Amino acid sequence: MQKRILGNSGIEVSALGLGCMGFSHAYGKPTEKKEAIKTLQQAVDMGYTFFDTAEIYGTYDNPYDNETLLGEAFEHYQDLVIASKFGIRFDLEAKVTPYPIIPDASPERIRKSIDGSLKRLKRDYLDIYYQHRIDPRVEPETVAEVMAELIKAGKIRSWGISEANEEYLRRAHAVCPVTAIENRYSMMARWHESLFPLLEELNIAFVAFSPMANGLLTGKYGKGTTYDKEFDYRSKMPQFTDEGIEKNRELLELIAATAQKHKATSAQISLAWMLCKKPYIIPIPGSRKIERLMENAGSASVLLTAEEIAELDDKLEKISMSDVFGGTKIIQK
């Protein structure tokens, strides 16, 4: 697979990363461990070198399950680039699912989190460590100071911020250079494009999660599809309702027509659209099936011209779309 450089860190990664959350939660029942390990290792064989997890990507009973899974799968693959995250926890007392999340980026919590993540991932250090969500009670300078401390201690090589905004990013970067943001980005979620000039100014990568709008843009879902209300977050996502599917018909048809022109799939066009737009965008789709991993990897070979991207962007501005899932509810406690 083609390679990209992760912002100002100099760290080389595969052009597409793999979001690993779905192996443990959010998209149905967790994948059986042996199957998940086999799939993760096969992803390496396909050329994936960049894997994304988080402290809370786990089951309701064990929020650390996903890190433990990657630790077992990659114990003997030391050349991979592993990313994890700190700064939020589930509100397990809530009576709704998905459980609301509570931000906690206090220095004490961060130091405890990194030690736990390293132990579970069976790593001496993490290549990049993200603040999962902004904690309004903790100044960005305070978080950045702890990141500088962890870099000096050799526990992380670089750091990033998920769902970053410009002010927070500038203030944090001034204390300890930020390597990447990890923000939601897809043809249905383009509001973070306003950050492009800042990312180019500071040489910061854009790691794009949910690059296919939680799977909708693959074109594989239609009206009448049902989802497990306990384990599958899509059961509550507006783009997957029958009304949402109907409202997004024109968008899906646009992607399918572009795919036919390039002898590609809708999923590949959704990824190629961002890969060809900016050299610092690294999508991390979260598939957990071998055939989907292979399909996604093929998107790096689909070349869209600047004119084609501009034409798509112009049409995306005019097409009517449903709301798109914006993330799990965050509460303050």
The whole-angstrom separation of Cα 97 and Cα 231 is 9
The whole-angstrom separation of Cα 319 and Cα 316 is 5
What is the DSSP secondary-structure string of 103-118? Answer: E---HHHHHHHHHHHH
Task: Count CB-CB contacts under 10 A for residue 310.
Answer: 12
Q: What sign does the CA torsion over 239, 244, 250, 252 have?
A: positive
Cβ partners under 8 Å of residue 238, min gap 6: 244, 322, 323, 324, 325
Using the 8-state DSSP alphabet, how is residue 136 labeled? Answer: T
The whole-angstrom separation of Cα 177 and Cα 202 is 9
Known catalytic residue at 57 = yes
The whole-angstrom separation of Cα 268 and Cα 127 is 27
The whole-angstrom separation of Cα 155 and Cα 145 is 14
Using the 8-state DSSP alphabet, how is residue 235 labeled? Answer: G
Peptide bond into 98 cis (omega under 30): yes
The whole-angstrom separation of Cα 288 and Cα 83 is 17
Can you give the C-alpha Rg of the chain in angstroms?
19
Cβ partners under 8 Å of residue 310, min gap 6: none
* From 27, 57, 130, 233, the catalytic residue: 57
The whole-angstrom separation of Cα 264 and Cα 270 is 10
- CB half-sphere exposure, 308, CA atoms < 13 A: 19
Catalytic residues: 57
